[in-house]
Every structure is written in structure tokens, then in C-alpha cells.
Amino acid sequence: MKANIAVLPGDGIGPEVVAQGLRCLRAVAKAYGHEFALTELPFGGAAIDLSGNPLPEGTLKACLEADAVLLGAIGGPQWSAPEAQVRPEQGLLALRRALGVYANLRPVKVHPALLAASTLKPEVLQGVDLVFVRELTGGIYFGEKRRDPRSATDVCTYTVEEVERIVRVAARLAQQRRGKLVSIDKSNVLETSRLWREVTTRVMRAEFPKVSLEHMLVDSAAMHLIRRPRDFDVLVTENMFGDILTDEASMLAGSLGLLPSASLGEGTRGLYEPIHGSAPDIAGQGIANPCGTILSAALLLRHSLGLSAEAAALERAVSEAIEHNARTPDIAASRDRALSTERVGDAVLERLRAA
């Protein structure tokens, strides 16, 4: 198979973790006889420094022509001054909209060898295997924004069509798993959430009657993610709630650095990235966890390229490397046993080649 993959290393630890994801993609291509054209492009803060634009025209064009996009992370203190008119995050929101990727899948599965990496009790974490489906191109992040010297306004808007399509994605996923869907909103306060609940109920009754549906307020969901995470299967929610709750859920697995994500639309092209940020405090130290990026590459293989066997092989390689103590400082049993970003990449590649 031939595939064209746009690569956006971004800022901070982004280039460090993306480098390991690219090593794994090249190894998969070699082992299975594929040809992956991997094109690195400026994006985020790095692109602002080069051109003043977080999403240069050439980068956007390459992403729109690619079969998939792999992203590291963006942002940093040098671009986050309150008075800044151009920010890396503007590029990310524009890219998501341009690609039409409205469904963000964030799987959270606790590795048995990492039960002690979380601050929660092991008995709470055993068997946790859930997926968040976050609406990605609507809500308060994309609404009208106004500011004057005395006030500021961010408008949150959702349409019926936006809610319908994300609920269908989540329900189809639940059908393939344990048949349980939790829809998260704040319908006791927000009109957008009342619309969300009404539309979700209608779609599920009419189109997915065999999938169990539970509605949950976002504050209750935040509590139960910590209290009884094993009970969840698929969770669907709006943009900002999903952004916050998935960072919370990452602590179930033990580290933000472990979790991948896939942003999908109507076609096969997707945007794949670890859920963590650019972590400028550890950038350049060679200690960032590459597993979230490598697992994002596995999602890319599965969802955009249709290479399920290759994706599973890469996921097994990551799992086996972790099981055999190939861990960066964020999840290592002790600091003196921690490995560098590159050494963890080496361990994953070793397991992948042995498969």
C-alpha cells in the first residue's frame, strides 16, 4: 500500500515524540511491504516564528491532499501572552475545521502493569476500558468571541445536525463494544445541553434501540470517572466538556503521555495526535513519553489506511514494551529505572520487529 502522511511535529516535546512515531511507521512499512511518504511541515508556534501564521497555506494544502495527518503538540509560553493576536491554537482549530474532522476518539485503557502509576487504588482501575467521543468543531471554542475593556463574551452554539452526527459515531462505536453509551451534558443549566439531550434521546431511540443510553451531567461524570471508571464503555459529549474530562480520564491510565486520539470526519482522512500538550517544561530533555504518539500512529493505520493487523501489531509492541519496564519518568517505578524518549522508542521497535 502507498500512503501520503502529513507530519506536523509542532512545538515543545512535539518533535521529540513525533520522531518516535515516525520510526514506528517506517518500521511497519518495511515489515509489511508498504510505502509511506512522510512529509514534515511547519505548524503551530514553530510556524508563527517562520511565517507569522500558525497554519501556513502550504501546510494546509499538504494536509488536505494527504491520506492522514500526524500531529505532535503545539503551544508554549512564548506565544501565549494575553495581548497576542496570533496563537498556535488558532492554527489547530482552523486545521480541524478545514479537514472536517468533527469526531475526536480518545480511548482510555489501563495497562495491568501500570496500576500503581495512577494515584487511584488498583482495585478501582482494574478492567477500565472506555472511549470518549468528543465533538470537535462546534461549541464555545468555535463560537463568536467579543471583548471590550469591561467584559468578554464567548458564545456556545450547537445545531441539531452537529449533535446528530456525533451521537451516531458514538452509538456505532458502542455497538461494536459493550453496547453502553453515556451522553454527558449540563442540561440543568445550559440551553445547548438541553438541545443535546433531546437530540441524543431521539436519535438513540429511532436508530440504536439496542444500545443502552444514560444521560449524565458533566459534574457527575467527572466524579464517577474517578469513583467507578470501570462502569463506562463509550462516552459522548460536547467540545469543551470532552477536552476537560479526557484530561481527567488520562490519570486513570497513569499519565497524559500514554493516551492517543483520532479526529475523524466523513471520509477516511483523519488527524492523529497524543492528547498531551507541548510540555515546554521538559522539552529538549529527552524524557517525554512517546507512547501516546506511537499509539496515535496505530490509530492512523487502522482508521485512515485500513491496516488493522499492522495497527494491532504496533499496539501490542507498545503494551509489551511497557510490561517489560520500557518507561519514561512519568510512569517509571522509580526515577533511576526510567528510560529516555528514544530508548522507549527502541524498545517498541524491538517488540515490533520480533512480532
What are the sequence ranges of the domains in the chain? 1-100+264-355, 119-253
What tens digit of pLDDT does each residue of 8-35 get?
999 999 999 999 999 999 999 999 999 9
Q: One fold for both 1-100+264-355 and 119-253?
A: yes
State the amino acid at position 30 in one-letter form.
K
Catalytic residue among 141, 158, 185, 330: 141
At 333 the pLDDT is 83
C-alpha Rg value of the chain to the nearest Å:
20
| pLDDT given for residue 39 in this prediction | 98
Alpha-carbon distance 211 to 205, whole Å?
Answer: 9
- Bridge partners (DSSP) of residue 236 are 133, 183
Checking if the pLDDT of 355 tops 80, the result is no
Q: Does the domain made of 1-100+264-355 have the CATH classification 3.40.50.300?
A: no
211-228: pLDDT as tens digits: 999 999 999 999 999 999
Q: What is the pLDDT of residue 83?
A: 80
pLDDT digits (tens, 9 = 90+) for 177-206: 999 999 999 999 999 999 999 999 999 999
User: Which residues of 25-97 form beta strands (DSSP E)?
Assistant: 35-40, 68-73
Of 154, 231, 247, 346, the active-site residue reads 247
219 classed as catalytic:
yes
Percent of residues in the chain assigned helix, strand, coil, to nearest 5: 50, 20, 30
Distance CA 352, CA 318 (A): 8
The share of the chain scoring above pLDDT 70, in percent, equals 100
119-253: CATH class = alpha beta
Residues 6+ apart with CB under 8 A from 108: 128, 129, 130, 131, 132, 246, 249, 250, 252, 253, 259
How many angstroms separate the CA atoms of 353 and 240, rounded?
A: 40
Q: Which of 11, 67, 185, 186 is catalytic?
A: 186
Contacts of 244 (CB under 8 A, 6+ apart): 222
pTM score of the predicted model: 0.93
d(CA 79, CA 100): 26
What integer is the mean pLDDT of 301-330?
97
Mean pLDDT for the chain overall: 96
The cell 502493569 sits on which residue?
Answer: 113
Residues 61-90 have a mean pLDDT of 94
Residues 6+ away with beta carbon under 8 Å from 146: 152, 153
Q: Once rounded to an integer, what is the mean pLDDT over residues 105-112?
A: 95
d(CA 335, CA 304): 37
Give the C-alpha separation, 221 to 106, whole Å: 16
Structural contact between residues 124 and 142, judged by C-beta atoms closer than 8 angstroms: no
281 is catalytic: no
Retrieve residue 94's grid coordinates.
482552523
Determine how β-strand 129-135 pairs with β-strand 234-237: parallel
Sequence letter at residue 346: D
Residue 74 banded pLDDT, cuts 50, 70, 90: very high
Catalytic residue among 32, 145, 219, 281: 219
Residue 272 among the catalytic residues: no
Choosing from 11, 185, 233, 243, which is the catalytic residue?
243
Active site residue 141: yes
State how far the Cα of 242 lies from the Cα of 61, in Å rounded to an integer.
Answer: 28
For residue 44, give Cα distances in angstroms to 55, 92, 169: 7, 7, 29
